[in-house]
Each structure stands twice: as structure tokens, then as C-alpha cells.
Amino acid sequence: MPPRSVGPYEILSVVGRGGVGIVYRGRHRGTGQLAAVKVLGPAPAIDPMAARRLAREFEVLRTLDHPNVIRVYDAGVVEGYSFLAMELVDGLDLRAYLSPALDGGAVHVFEPSPLSPRPISDGASPRPVQLGPEAIRALAAMMDEPDTEPGGMAFATPGLRPGAPQAPRPPPGPELLEALNRPARVARLRAVLAQVLEGLAYVHARGFVHRDLKPSNVMVDDARRARLMDFGLVKTAHERDDALTATGRIVGTYRYMSPEQAQGRTVDARSDLYSLGVMLYELVTGMPPCAAAEPVDLWRQILHVRPAAARRVNPGADPLLACIADRLLEKDPASRFASAEEILSELRA
């Protein structure tokens, strides 16, 4: 069974789980506010770098206030578990929201998962809670060991461990292309793209680079409002790229990385725009721009192979969206759009 409580939050159900933690639907016992509670732990079982990133995510997000960026409420440690409480978004991730099979573009409320993680508390009595990101960092320091990044890549051995890339997809057939190009879906795509760009423009204007932009990190709620989520790999323009990574390793989701991020070079806002281009290309064409199944081949495609033009794959695609996707996928950052605001201007012209 899920725990009955995590710090000040009553736990209602499980939302989902990732490689290093579980996300619960919770309710603050004092205010009644619903929240998504991300929990890492227990301490001996997790990478201390994951805890530091959780603290970093809280510190960054509490400085941001935008309708298209997720909000955070609390962070801390309880019984050796680090937790982050944030805005609960009932809805779908970007890929599901724009699925050609979604009738009429309706957003369906997420049904909680029946997973049964190890309990944190039986709820019989209050547990001591240490609030704030410094409590999480202190816990990380206690369990410190050489940093690792599951699915990361060593600079010296490109392509060795980039995670689990998808198998190549066949070219989209006529039925899929027709579904992708339905006017209602294209209108939804344009509308949600504008919201993502608004959120990115806000984040970038404050000197942050997300570094892990992908469809699962954009959620759309029942009111069709998009949120940028999961800022665990965020960096600032003045921060060394390896400040929150293991030395000589690349972090992020490989399929959505810009060439400069895949090479371990310094990245700026244009790297996030490349990742947005990968997402947009997939949503316009029904297939990824780099579709190699083998890790090394995927790495080489990201660095050296120019994807087929979006309108070549999907001749009926919205011309502007296809053009934006193609330009965002330029290997040279200087050849991409310079900013999210520039893309918004094109979209609204």
C-alpha cells in the first residue's frame, strides 16, 4: 500500500514512478491543497546526485511564477526520504494530448496507478520532518559516493550507454498522415506550442536552461493549459555544465538532446529549442528526426545526419509548423531561431 503520509501531506494515491522515485497524489493536512509529491529514497538506495537535483529543482522553481511552468510548494526529508511537493496537474503529457487517436482533443483525467511502493509511514504518529533544500543536501552528503547517471554517456565512449532508444519506425502511412493533419489537431498543436514557447521564453529570460525538454515533461490539464515540468537538470547561464553531473558524463534524454549537449559542450537556450524541434518534428510527421536503433548510430545521426524535411515526410503538414521544426533541428545553434520569442512571433504572424 502507498504510505499514508509524507511530511505534511496525506497521501491519496500513486501517480507514477521513475528510475529513482515515486510521485504521489497528496493533500496538505493544514490547507487541504492537492499536490504531486515526488519522493526519493530510502537514503541507502538512491544516488546522492538525485537528491541534490531534487533540492536544485525546488530552489529554481520557487523563483519562477508563470502559468506555463509547474509551481512548487515544499521540499524536505522525512525518515530518510527526500521529497518535493509541487502543483498537481490532472491531464495528459504532450504526446498523449496530441495523439491522432484522441477524439475531439478531449483531455481525460489521469487514473491513478495501482502500484504499491514501500510505505514511508503508517500514519500512526507524526514523523519528524526537516523542511527545505538544505535538509536534502545534508542527506545527500551523508550518503555521498561517486556520482553516477543511469543512462548517461561518457565523453570518451560516445554511444555506450544512452539509455534505451526506440526502434526505427516505418514511414507514416496515409491513414496516420490524414489523422496528423486534421484541422482540429493542428489547431491544438499550434495552441499548445505557443504555451510551451511562452513558458520557455520566461525560463530563458531568467537565465535558466531546462536541458531535459521532452513530451513527458510537458503536461496539459483539463483546461488545455500546458506546464513545463521536471527541472532536475536545469542550469543557469553562469553555471558550469557539469556542476550537477558526474565528471565527463552527459545527462538528459538522449533522443531529444541537441548536438552540442550530446557532445558535452556548453549549452544555452538554443539547446532547449533544438529539443523542442525534435518534439515538434515528431508531432508533425509521426516519426522522430533521428530514428536509429543502435546507440552509436543514434549519436552519429544527432551530430551529423540532417533529417528529412518535415514536409517531405508529411506533405500535408502545416507549412509553418514544418518550417519551424526544420529550422530548430539545425546542427549549428546559430542557424536555429535565436529565442522562443522569435518563434512566437512567427507563429502569431
The b/e string for 226-262 (b: 16+ C-beta within 10 A; e otherwise) is bbbbbbbbbbeeeeebbebbbeebbbbbbbbbbbbbb
* Whole-angstrom distance, CA of residue 58 vs CA of residue 52: 10
* Catalytic (active-site) positions: 212
Contact 26, 124 (CB under 8 A): no
Instruction: Estimate the crossing angle of helix 319-328 against helix 340-348, to 10 degrees.
Output: 170
Cβ neighbors of 130 (< 8 A, separation 6 or more) are 76, 77, 78, 138
Phi-psi region of 104 (alpha: psi -120 to 50; beta: other; left: phi over 0): left
Q: First and final CA of the chain: distance in angstroms?
A: 52
CA distances from 280 to 98, 276, 323, 328 (A): 11, 6, 10, 9
Grid cell of 209 as nine digits: 536552461
| 201 DSSP 8-state letter | H
Q: What are the residues facing 17 on neighbouring strands?
A: 22
* Whole-angstrom distance, CA of residue 314 vs CA of residue 324: 14
- Classified as helix, coil or strand, 261 is helix
